[in-house]
A = this chain, B = another copy of it.
């Protein structure tokens, strides 16, 4: 999340609350939303009809839901990112090649945001979708980005946000994380050894452009398929190589 607004527009904040609730409930009625958000029906109705006028909300049989305008804005933003445009084909290729789940992500507001994913033939099924967020310290993607970001930004991220522990193996401690980042730099790529999800390992390499971290690419697979030589050589090589290709292609745009 971004920093707190000094002079927030409360009506806007209320609107965003309604949108968040609509996402959670998928379809919801005015009454239901008013109760959940502890406000009056007229307020909810006013906000919803304002949103609907601009296609951010749709009215259906079962009440209101998120509109497709979000898809337009989100897709627009993603398409503006060279990381996405250059990364997508490489992600697809790597998924095909490894048969596993491949992701690219970028950092936003100190969080790891998934941009695109591609499933290989035997890939695990995770219910993470584009646009969703994870703490930087709990993903290989986040750690490979942190490892190569400027110190001051790394410090702000580590200090500001809490470092949640998703599993037993998470680096939830500031010092341990810093050591892990050093090890990542040494290695050239990051490993998530069941730090985010029991039974899941990931290998991730950063994607950089003249010193700046654009994002990262990763391969995720069950622990029993990502071990030994595949964990230490084959997959890391492919991941780093894919990252390098994206870096090279990103120069020309």
Contact, CB under 8 Å: B70 / A70: yes
Contact, CB under 8 Å: A71 / B2: no
With a CB–CB cut-off of 8 A, which chain B residues contact A5? 46, 49-50, 52-53
Q: At the interface with chain B, which of A72-80, A141-149, A222-230? A: A72-80
With a CB–CB cut-off of 8 A, which chain B residues contact A7? 42, 45-46, 49
CB of A9 to closest CB in B, whole Å: 5
For residue A4, CB closer than 8 A to chain B, the reply is yes
Taking a contact as CB atoms closer than 8 A, the residue among B26, B58, B78 that contacts A108 in the complex is B58
With a CB–CB cut-off of 8 A, which chain B residues contact A78? 68, 71
Q: Mark A131-152, 1 if CB is under 8 A from B, else 0.
A: 1110000000000000000000
Q: Which of A19, A23, A45, A72 gathers most chain B CB within 10 Å?
A: A72
CB of A141 to closest CB in B, whole Å: 14
Interface residues on A, range: 35 or more
Some 9 contacts from A to B, beta carbons below 8 A apart, are A2-B55, A7-B46, A13-B53, A58-B108, A58-B109, A66-B74, A67-B108, A71-B131, A75-B130
For residue A243, CB closer than 8 A to chain B, the reply is no
List the B residue with the shortest CB-CB distance to A15. B12
Contact, CB under 8 Å: B77 / A66: yes
Question: Once the chains are docked, how many angstroms separate the CA of A160 from the CA of B209?
Answer: 50
With a CB–CB cut-off of 8 A, which chain B residues contact A69? 74, 131
Question: Once the chains are docked, how many angstroms separate the CA of A97 from the CA of B54?
Answer: 37
With a CB–CB cut-off of 8 A, which chain B residues contact A77? 65-68, 70-71
For residue A211, CB closer than 8 A to chain B, the reply is no
Q: A7-B42, A55-B133, A66-B77 are in contact. List 8 more A-B contacts (CB 8 A).
A: A1-B54, A12-B47, A15-B15, A68-B113, A71-B113, A71-B131, A72-B74, A72-B132
Taking a contact as CB atoms closer than 8 A, the residue among B11, B45, B59, B74 that contacts A73 in the complex is B74
